[in-house]
């Protein structure tokens, strides 16, 4: 087989397999027949260079003239095998999948690669390394690289910190490497999520974009590299620590899956492919995403059955459907200094167990959820007093504490079995627990087990625990929370039902956090809650309207002591909940779109139904506008030929409207009818909003 052509979902791969190499010649839109002959597409040989044309292989190799980062790196104890020459030994192709086996017969290494295009145009790329020698092989890294054409001029990724995750950053692609590495022992608050390259000036709805994601919850790196000859790759792989993966005779290492998408419709086009792929999974939630109330910012560690029962009654009255009891329910847990690892209900606080609260929640028509943090321990815990050796880290000393806690060594089978048994008993004895908020609150930069680095093994152990718990309790939904958004990736999402995007519920921060998170993950899988008026993470104070509208495009919830809310606030909250429940089928199935060219002071985004018959849009003023006249809100994604009626989804909050008042269509009755073409180009005139205010537009086709 000299070349292979894969096509699905409007995306195509053309792979050149001549000369024993595996080189992607084209990754992009489907190609019309006749297909090009890859043999005729070799580049010229530059001056002062190798005597044959050099191209990046799927696994780039110095032995094939690649002068950038190698795809496979490692060596044997005597130093041999440091520069493999991998040659294709077998290739098996269908219309949508290519399976390759590559081998270096001298170095005794085999690499198996699978490339598959799914129905949504997502490329699933897998790689496995086998040591075919009796001598051990110390793996440094295994990455797959995808080529970028010369027209890919800019790279966009996401960075951040606790309380400010998934912030866009972009710059031009120049000679050298742009690397986004994560060394947290978990995905990390600064993890990029979607890592993308595109043509100059690409935006949400314009330009050609190539995006990748490594489906992995441990240490990792994503990178773009351009060599001096102009050849460019985008790549990702697990970041391994020294001595972490040593393959004995016949042993194999499986790399995390690399997912990749291409679109000629900007970032939103790439996001749409990922969203459709996730929604098509058999494990994707099929029931409407319930309105959540989480008790953390209402009571913190102050657990009292009577107060929590009153909170549950108030929650049910405004339309809440899931009531989640947060941290503080287990033995010795009166603050964050003690108790982690002892997953037994505290009899001093809950003398009758959790049963009375669960029963009250269920009697009110809600489901009950509970917070856990199974991967962490406090040194002040019965578990650590009995098993101090179960703390992960380097041999002979403790790692630095983080929030008074350490990581439990789940690679240790006894520690794993103990925690799994406690969680299994908790769920078995409390059948009403329908949801777990699974937290993981610290970085661990030197994870170790048995005296050697263990981030890779610890990540796999966490996956096994989630998988086994779900097998035993298939009806319990799980949220991935990691001090907010520090474990948001498609590796953990394969085992959970939603992610918590950030520990901040400040709506201003949430606007950009949710935008960055939803670049990869659809809204229904991203927890988005209304916090109290005064944010405990930022100190800002915001009106309820802004907080509610911000939370609507996500999995909507509340994290606020609504017992202390006024009657007017509870009425406004109930109205927002009713709107969410009425429109969540659209919000959680349609295409997420963003208007380009708004600048940093405001944002317009929305969800458009797949048949383009209806939509919901948010117009949010983030900071003081640079211009006196607020530009109209252009609404992308609608059918240009159809006519739509625009109304407010929730009443306009007059507190957020500047002195200039409302545009004519609002003053004339609050309805506007325009074609989709006019809405996309001319837009909807909007009031001059003050900073940290938003309005909600409900758009429906006029039939």
Strands 252-254 and 220-226: unpaired
| Residue 440 CB neighbour total at 10 angstroms | 23
Please tell me the distance from the alpha carbon of residue 605 to that of residue 669, in angstroms, as a whole number: 24
Q: Is 188 helix (H, G, I), strand (E, B) or coil?
A: coil
The counts of H helices and E strands in the chain are 13, 38
- 51 assigned to active site: no
Dihedral, 553, 558, 559, 564 alpha carbons, nearest 10: 140
- φ, ψ at 182 (rounded to 5°): -125, 120
Please tell me the distance from the alpha carbon of residue 144 to that of residue 433, in angstroms, as a whole number: 41
Query: Nearest to residue 154, comparing CAs of 121, 201, 87, 203?
Result: 201
Strands 322-325 and 292-294: parallel
Which position among 342, 497, 503, 543 bears the catalytic label?
503
Which position among 268, 327, 409, 439 bears the catalytic label?
439
Reading the block at residue 13, the tokens are: 């791969």
| C-beta of residue 502 within 8 angstroms of C-beta of residue 529 | no
Strands 555-558 and 614-621: unpaired
Which secondary-structure segment (H or E) carries 424?
helix 413-429
Reading the block at residue 400, the tokens are: 């630095």
| C-beta of residue 493 within 8 angstroms of C-beta of residue 521 | yes
Please tell me the distance from the alpha carbon of residue 44 to that of residue 47, in angstroms, as a whole number: 10
Please tell me the distance from the alpha carbon of residue 500 to that of residue 481, in angstroms, as a whole number: 5
Please tell me the distance from the alpha carbon of residue 377 to that of residue 342, in angstroms, as a whole number: 8
268-290 b/e (C-beta count within 10 Å ≥ 16 → b): bbbbbbbbbbbeeeeeebeeebb
- 503 assigned to active site: yes
Which residues form the catalytic set? Answer: 439, 503
């Amino acid at each position: 087989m000299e070349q292979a052509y894969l096509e699905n979902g409007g995306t195509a791969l053309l792979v050149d397999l001549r000369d024993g190499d595996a080189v992607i010649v084209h990754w992009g839109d489907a190609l019309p027949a006749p297909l090009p002959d890859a043999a005729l597409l070799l580049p010229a040989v530059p001056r002062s260079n190798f005597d044959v044309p050099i191209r990046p292989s799927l696994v780039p190799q110095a032995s094939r003239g690649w002068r950038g980062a190698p795809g496979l790196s490692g060596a044997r104890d005597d130093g041999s095998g440091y520069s493999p020459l991998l040659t294709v030994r077998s290739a098996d192709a269908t219309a949508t999948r290519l399976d390759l086996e590559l081998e270096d017969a001298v170095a005794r290494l085999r690499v198996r690669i699978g490339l598959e295009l799914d129905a949504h145009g997502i490329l699933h790329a897998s790689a496995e390394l086998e040591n075919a020698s009796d001598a051990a092989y110390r793996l440094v890294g295994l990455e797959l690289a995808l080529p970028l054409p010369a027209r890919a001029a800019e790279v966009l990724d996401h960075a951040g910190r606790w309380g400010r995750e998934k912030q866009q950053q972009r710059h031009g692609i120049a000679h050298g490497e742009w690397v986004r590495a994560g060394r947290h022992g978990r995905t990390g608050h600064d993890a990029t999520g979607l890592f993308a390259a595109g043509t100059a000036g690409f935006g949400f709805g314009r330009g050609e974009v190539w995006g990748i994601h490594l489906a992995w919850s441990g240490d990792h790196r994503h990178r773009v590299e351009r060599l001096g000859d102009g050849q460019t790759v985008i790549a990702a792989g697990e970041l391994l620590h020294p001595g972490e993966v040593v393959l004995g005779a016949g042993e194999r290492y499986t790399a995390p899956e690399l997912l990749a998408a291409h679109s000629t419709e900007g970032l939103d086009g790439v996001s749409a492919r990922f969203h459709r792929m996730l929604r098509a999974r058999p494990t994707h939630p099929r029931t409407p995403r319930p309105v959540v109330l989480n008790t953390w910012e209402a009571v913190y560690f102050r657990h009292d059955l009577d107060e929590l029962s009153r909170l549950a009654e108030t929650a049910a009255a405004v339309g809440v459907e899931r009531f989640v009891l947060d941290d503080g329910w287990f033995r010795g847990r009166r603050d964050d200094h003690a108790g982690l690892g002892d997953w037994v209900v505290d009899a001093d606080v809950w003398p009758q167990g959790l049963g009375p609260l669960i029963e009250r929640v269920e009697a009110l028509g809600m489901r009950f959820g509970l917070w856990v943090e199974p991967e962490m321990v406090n040194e002040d815990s019965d578990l650590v007093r009995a098993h101090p050796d179960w703390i992960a880290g380097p041999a002979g000393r403790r790692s630095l504490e983080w929030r008074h806690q350490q990581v439990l060594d789940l690679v240790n089978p006894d520690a794993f079995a103990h925690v799994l048994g406690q969680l299994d008993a908790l769920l078995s004895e409390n059948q009403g627990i329908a949801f777990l908020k699974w937290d993981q609150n610290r970085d661990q930069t030197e994870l170790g087990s048995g005296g050697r680095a263990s981030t890779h093994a610890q990540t796999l152990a966490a996956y096994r625990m989630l998988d086994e718990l779900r097998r035993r309790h298939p009806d319990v939904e799980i949220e991935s929370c990691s001090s907010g958004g520090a474990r948001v990736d498609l590796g953990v999402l394969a085992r959970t039902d939603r992610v918590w995007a950030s520990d901040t519920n400040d709506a201003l921060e949430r606007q950009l956090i949710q935008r960055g998170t939803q670049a990869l993950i659809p809204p229904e899988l991203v927890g988005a809650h209304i916090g109290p008026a005064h944010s405990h993470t930022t100190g800002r104070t915001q009106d309820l309207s802004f907080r509610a509208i911000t939370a609507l495009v996500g999995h909507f919830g509340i994290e606020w002591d609504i017992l202390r809310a006024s009657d007017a606030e509870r009425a406004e909250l109930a109205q927002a909940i009713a709107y969410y429940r009425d429109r969540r089928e659209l919000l959680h199935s349609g295409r997420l779109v963003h208007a380009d060219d708004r600048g940093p002071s405001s944002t317009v985004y929305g969800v458009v139904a797949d048949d383009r018959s209806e939509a919901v849009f948010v117009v949010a003023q983030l900071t003081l506008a640079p211009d006196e006249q607020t530009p109209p809100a252009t609404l992308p994604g609608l059918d240009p030929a159809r006519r739509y009626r625009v109304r407010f989804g929730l009443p306009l909050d007059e507190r957020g409207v500047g002195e200039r008042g409302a545009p004519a269509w609002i003053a004339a009755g609050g309805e506007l009818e325009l074609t989709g073409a006019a809405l996309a180009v001319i837009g909807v005139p909007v009031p001059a909003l003050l900073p940290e205010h938003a309005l909600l537009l409900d758009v429906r086709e006029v039939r």
